[in-house]
Amino acid sequence: MHILLLHQYFQEENEPGGVRFNEMTRIWHAEGHNVTVICGMLKFGGMEKTEEYKGKYFVKKKQGGVNVIRCHVSEAYNKGFFGRLFGYFSFMFNAIYAGLFIAKDKYDKIVVTSPPLFIGVCGYVLSRAKGIPYIFEVRDLWPESAIDTGLLKNKTIIRLSYWLESFIYRNAKLINVLTPAFRKTLIEKKGMAPEKVIMIPNASDFELSDHLHDTFDRDAFRREHDLDNKFVISYLGAHGIANHLEQILETAERLRDTNVLFLVIGEGPRKSDLKKMAADMKLTNVRFIDAVPKSEVFKYIIASEMGTSVLKRVDTFKTVYSNKTFDYMACKKPILMAIDGVSRELVGEADCGCYVEPEDPAHFEKIIREYLSNDAKRLMQGENGYRYAKQNFDRNALALKYLEILKNV
């Protein structure tokens, strides 16, 4: 089987950021299938192009055994709402061109993963042109998330976005969602037939975590990075409006009298503002770390006492699983879950951490202080999360399940 994947944010090798499909495609290739990826050129976080891509519109390369076609994305991407919209459209048209005139092999299936929603147009056009079905993956409920976070306000654009969403869903052969709440929303609110909606969620990378559990010198890493005698809580991921990392800084201010240290790892458009806010507050218990590859991120997690997942307090985020949650579980770290809804339910069912009211620093502080005096609970919940993820969210098992579904479409 030859699979064509459309994914604007497919990561370079050893680049920080979400690697769901980097790992999926690696496993599919190892199972004997061909995979071609059409993706964008901008670096992690959408900030800029590397020297390799400047002045170019299309670059073909190999990542492992996977064929990759990188397409130009406007560098206006991070210059406000309309800049980002222009970035989406520039990728959409270039991806269609690449699919029609560069990716000339015979394909059996097309997998399209969103956001952005506009990538669904690429899937539809290439599906019709090549006479093969496309499977549309929903990693974020859009336009709802953009509306709830205040990024999308124009009523005409909102109406057009809902029409486009419906069009893409109707024409997809299957729709894959990442959480049970997404599935419920698509069936009950958007009218999709239950048999059309499948669920292959995000997952834990046990190959990496188990290797590090066996080989990594945690004590030496903590000494090297000045973490000794600290109760380290790691946040890893995007620094954007939706993440509302201000709540971490506000919680840190309330914990000045403790040995708690927050490691805030990653990139995003709000990072410089957050660093200025921390400096203005004279916080010495928050440390910002630039994005690092996943192998390094896991070292920081294992060197920590806990991990935290946080988002703004909006209803749409009650439907999401945070990617970083599965990394904490694989690394045997309990989770401070400042996301309501299905993420809260996940932590409760697995007994692998504690729910924190989003945007409530007083509650955040209270929960952390309880863990400071209860190492036994913390260690037990870390083991609970690992076992639960091993049973339900093993990346290799889910990649093979996805592959079987694609074979049967």
Q: Residue 312 belongs to a domain with what CATH number?
A: 3.40.50.2000
In sequence order, what are the residues at sequence separation of 6 or more whose Cβ sits closer than 8 angstroms to the Cβ of residue 276? none
**Buried/exposed 54-67: b ≥16 CB within 10 Å, e otherwise:** eeeebeeeebeebb
110 shares a domain with 45: yes
The residue range of the domain holding 153 is 2-203+394-408
| Residue 203 Rama label (left phi>0; alpha psi -120 to 50; beta) | beta
262 shares a domain with 322: yes
pTM flag (> 0.95):
no
Task: Tell me the sheet residues that pair with 2.
Answer: 34
DSSP-derived secondary structure letter, 268: -
Provide the pLDDT for residue 142: 82
pLDDT tens-place values along the chain, 409 residues long = 999 999 999 988 877 667 899 999 999 999 999 999 999 997 655 556 777 888 899 999 999 899 999 999 887 666 766 677 777 889 999 999 999 999 989 999 999 999 888 999 999 999 999 999 999 999 988 888 778 777 778 888 889 989 999 999 999 999 999 999 999 999 999 999 999 999 999 999 999 999 999 999 999 999 999 999 999 999 999 898 889 999 999 999 999 999 999 999 998 889 999 999 999 999 999 999 998 888 899 999 999 999 999 999 988 899 999 889 999 999 999 999 999 999 999 999 999 999 999 999 999 999 999 999 999 999 999 999 999 999 999 999 999 999 999 999 8
On the question of a cis peptide bond just before residue 269, with omega within 30 degrees of 0, the verdict is no
190 shares a domain with 272: no
58 shares a domain with 191: yes
CA angle 195, 29, 54 (to 5 degrees): 100
388 shares a domain with 283: yes
Q: How far apart are CA 325 and CA 223, in angstroms?
A: 26
| Alpha-helical runs (H) found in 102-217 | 119-130, 144-148, 155-171, 180-188, 206-215
In sequence order, what are the residues at sequence separation of 6 or more whose Cβ sits closer than 8 angstroms to the Cβ of residue 63? 12, 13, 22, 37
Diameter of the chain measured on Cα atoms: 64
With beta carbons less than 8 A apart as the criterion, state whether 59 and 72 touch.
Answer: no
Q: What is the pLDDT of residues 147-185, one digit of tens each?
A: 877 777 888 888 998 999 999 999 999 999 999 999 999
292 shares a domain with 188: no
293 shares a domain with 219: yes
Q: How far apart are CA 386 and CA 326, in angstroms?
A: 9
Q: How far apart are CA 60 and CA 67, in angstroms?
A: 7
Provide the pLDDT for residue 44: 55
Give residue for tokens 């976080």.
45
36 shares a domain with 119: yes
Provide the pLDDT for residue 396: 94
Provide the pLDDT for residue 399: 96
260 shares a domain with 222: yes
Tell which residue, 47, 23, 35, has the closest CA to residue 406.
35
Taking the CA atoms of residue 123, residue 205, residue 200 and residue 32 in that order, the dihedral angle to the nearest 10 degrees is 60
Q: What is the pLDDT of residues 251-280, one digit of tens each?
A: 999 999 999 999 999 988 899 999 999 999
Provide the pLDDT for residue 148: 78
378 shares a domain with 234: yes
One-letter amino acid for residue 56 of the chain: K
Spacing of C-alpha 39 from chain mean position: 16
238 shares a domain with 188: no
Give residue for tokens 């509302």.
244
197 shares a domain with 215: no
Q: Residues in the chain, how many?
A: 409
Q: How many domains does the chain have?
A: 2
